[in-house]
Amino acid sequence: MTLIKSISGIRGTIGGNPGDNLTPLDAVRFASAYASWMRERYPGRRLKVVLGRDARLSGEMIQDLVAATLIGCGIDIVDLGLSTTPTVELAVPMEVADGGIILTASHNPKQWNALKLLDSRGEFLDAAAGQRILELAEAEAFDYATVDDLGQKSVRDDYLKLHVDHVLDLELVDAATIRKQKFKVVVDGVCSSGGIAIPLLLEALGVEVIPLYCEPTGHFPHNPEPLKQHLGDICREVQQTGADFGIVVDPDVDRLAFIDETGEMFGEEYTLVACADYVLSRTPGNTVSNLSSTRALRDITEKHNGSYTAAAVGEVNVVAAMKETGAVIGGEGNGGIIYPASHYGRDALVGTALFLMLLSEKQLPVSALRASYPAYFMSKQKIELEPGLDVDALLAAMHQRFKDEEVSAVDGVKIDFEDSWVHLRKSNTEPIIRIYTEASSQQAADDLGAKFISEIKAARAAL
């Protein structure tokens, strides 16, 4: 069982001992710390926070604990109930709120949950704010409201529709153009809130929806991370139904992956490439993705005469780089689309609409669209960490081993070879080292990943 405290929030497995897992006491403690930070940031103000959750089994319990804690701290809450991460991000400024909390462990299995913390712009907190909340949680110097100053709760159940309306109003989204195509699409909602939100958007765009695992029961039917090895059911469903393509999201709907009409993965790395191709064709400019994302985005950006920037892994880092460079689109290679004309957060609904516009204009099958992009292949592997292992020393040892190559230490260790690269980094959300590789064939990428697993084991043994 695990509890991970980071600047981006608190994430852990449900049950067990306080301080070691995400227990009710831990949920209350970190919600109290967030409230204390807000009071420091906005002294003397009556505060408001937006709350929402995905459909995982512990979601209602954790949200009730967080809501009651904030009310006890004298903070008003707007409860969206079952929602998505990007919906909560949009709701914060729409409600003129001072912050937001999303109860979701994103792609993690059902035993996990988390408090993901937002600022008044509906964006994830920066490092300084996150560190201050960790300090306040450690000190436990909380000051709760008296009975006359308790917060108030309001409930909103219309924000998924408002989110869809927002997407339809984007300048680069033309619903009439999409409706003319009469697309038929399979949607895998992994039994979470994406099973409601994505069909709601598609139906508004005149798309025929074939639902797969769209009941938000919280009993995930497969590993919720949208990777090829977990998606056999939707690949078969697309083939058997003759659908134009398939859509897969993670439980909180900030990651987006596509299946082509033959039942093959479009490649979650290419979700951002395709959406960027469409946006750049209409609004030329710059792009940003993280160090673990495909080189294909750089190629597409340069094709449209833009400039590409690689940021450290983490949405907050990508957003910061996007603001610095004035990027018109960016995101992460895990299928996360950040489109500033909408908001600075990964949003599968926005990505879906942009992809549908691209298909409508290109008039190509999804497989042909994929074949039109530079052919890179990625392998994503990981090694679980032993308790007490000095991961920083291990990564430093890997840096030293490959010092004669082009090496970046901006975030972990990234080693660029002539026709491939490998990125090694500690996960911010799980006790693992992630090993991302990219090469000109899948076999080469897999082999490079296997090679570096051996290299890490050798370096670990030498420490």
pLDDT confidence tier of residue 55, bands split at 50, 70 and 90: very high
Once rounded to an integer, what is the mean pLDDT over residues 174-186? 98
Q: Which residue has the tokens 């917060």?
A: 151
Catalytic residue among 83, 106, 289, 420: 106
Domain ranges of the chain: 3-157, 162-371, 377-462
Burial of 52 (0-12, 13-18, 19+ CB in 10 A): buried
Yes or no: say if 99 and 115 are a contact pair by the CB < 8 Å rule.
no
State pLDDT tens for residues 396-429.
999 999 999 989 888 999 998 988 999 999 876 6
For helices 348-362 and 194-204, give the axis angle rounded to 10 degrees.
40
How many Å apart are CA 103 and CA 192, to the nearest integer? 13
Q: Assess whether the region 162-371 and the region 377-462 belong to the same CATH fold.
A: no
User: pLDDT at residue 167 above 60?
Assistant: yes
Question: What homologous superfamily is domain 3-157 in, according to CATH?
Answer: Alpha-D-Glucose-1,6-Bisphosphate, subunit A, domain 3 (3.40.120.10)
Q: Does domain 377-462 have CATH number 3.90.550.10?
A: no
User: pLDDT at residue 14 above 80?
Assistant: yes
pLDDT for 392: 86
Q: Which residue has the tokens 């403690």?
A: 29
Q: What is the CATH number of domain 162-371?
A: 3.40.120.10
pLDDT for 435: 94
Is 106 known to be catalytic? yes
Neighbours of 240 (CB within 10 A): 11
State pLDDT tens for residues 244-302.
999 999 999 999 999 999 999 999 999 999 999 999 999 999 999 999 899 999 999 99
| Six-digit token string for 369 | 């669209």
Alpha helices in 8-111 (DSSP H): 24-41, 59-72, 85-94
Q: How far is CA 250 from CA 354, 388, 427, 431, in A?
A: 18, 31, 18, 20
